[in-house]
Amino acid sequence: MTTSTTIRTFIEDREVAGEQVRTWEERRLRAVFRKLAAGLGARAVGEMLPGETIAGVLGGPIDTQRAALTSMKTRLGHAGMYALLRRELAFSEATTRATVAASRGRTATSVTRLEAPDVSADRFADWFDDLTASNREAEMLEACPDHYLLRGLPDGRQEVVETTGGSPAATRFLVDYTRTDRLSTPADPGYPIQIAGAALLDDGTCIGGVRHQLRDRDGTLEALLTVEFPAVVPARLLRQHQWHLAVEFGNWIRSSTASPR
């Protein structure tokens, strides 16, 4: 995933150093490796990382850590991931339903802005659309340690199992990119490319959504990334999800520049 693309990251309109984004990702890599190790046990981890140890992987370059974690998740498979996280997912769904009810339609947002010189907004949008349409699960997983399962469903929606921001438990939801009617964040006419959709539970309950907006400015891709949550979600979770956005989209942008044009 490593490329020479330098990305500027802005959180709450303040620029943060790339090293801070990397440090956040490394911290989450350690946390997720430990979660998998605790849930699976040493014998299963040995099957998924033949000839390696988690401690050894964590001592290596960040690209090696990303690849090893993605390999573990892929080997575990969808059914294995559901089984591993079943209690977390049940807890998070109940908690999410309660926060939606308490929020009474009001929303709160996590917003991160990225600038990537010499990257085309149109090209990145096409690459991202193909990423989801082609269902390239490994590339979707590798972008952020907190991704556990990302895949396209036959009905066109995207299934997501991830830890959102600073949440103690992974959450499962569906993103419907054909529905934007429940979003509180309006489209900014200054950003001609929109990646937007509603986040839903299986029964159709809307729990939030995304509005990611892209444009070119003076040869630089500008990405205004917004995730909507129920209004009563704790502020800490919202702040942590800003870093989640910085990591995943930063890595996706770098991956897109490494792909054949």
Q: How far apart are CA 99 and CA 199, in angstroms?
A: 14
Q: What is the CATH number of the domain that holds 12?
A: 3.30.530.20
Which domain range does residue 204 map to?
Answer: 8-258
At 83 the pLDDT is 97
> Is the Cβ–Cβ distance between 215 and 193 less than 8 Å?
yes
Confidence of residue 167 (pLDDT cuts 50, 70, 90): confident
Confidence of residue 126 (pLDDT cuts 50, 70, 90): very high
> Is the Cβ–Cβ distance between 198 and 176 less than 8 Å?
yes
- Note whether residue 82 is domain-resident: yes
Taking the model in full, what pTM does it have? 0.95
At 3 the pLDDT is 52
At 258 the pLDDT is 87
- Note whether residue 2 is domain-resident: no
Q: How far apart are CA 86 and CA 66, in angstroms?
A: 24
At 192 the pLDDT is 98
Q: How far apart are CA 143 and CA 132, in angstroms?
A: 13
At 5 the pLDDT is 78
Q: What is the CA radius of gyration of the chain?
A: 18
- Note whether residue 243 is domain-resident: yes
At 1 the pLDDT is 54
> Is the Cβ–Cβ distance between 72 and 36 less than 8 Å?
yes
- Looking at residue 127, its amino acid is W
Considering the chain, what percentage of its residues have pLDDT values greater than 90?
Answer: 93
- Note whether residue 108 is domain-resident: yes
Contacts of 56 (CB under 8 A, 6+ apart): none
Considering the chain, what percentage of its residues have pLDDT values greater than 70?
Answer: 97
- Note whether residue 250 is domain-resident: yes
Each residue of 141-162: pLDDT tens digit?
999 999 999 999 999 999 999 9
At 94 the pLDDT is 97
- Note whether residue 1 is domain-resident: no
- Note whether residue 168 is domain-resident: yes
- Position 7 pLDDT exceeds 70: yes
At 4 the pLDDT is 59
Residue 89 CB-half CA count within 13 A: 15
The domain total for the chain is 1
Each residue of 183-240: pLDDT tens digit?
999 999 999 999 999 999 999 999 999 999 999 999 999 999 999 999 999 999 999 9
At 166 the pLDDT is 76
- Note whether residue 3 is domain-resident: no
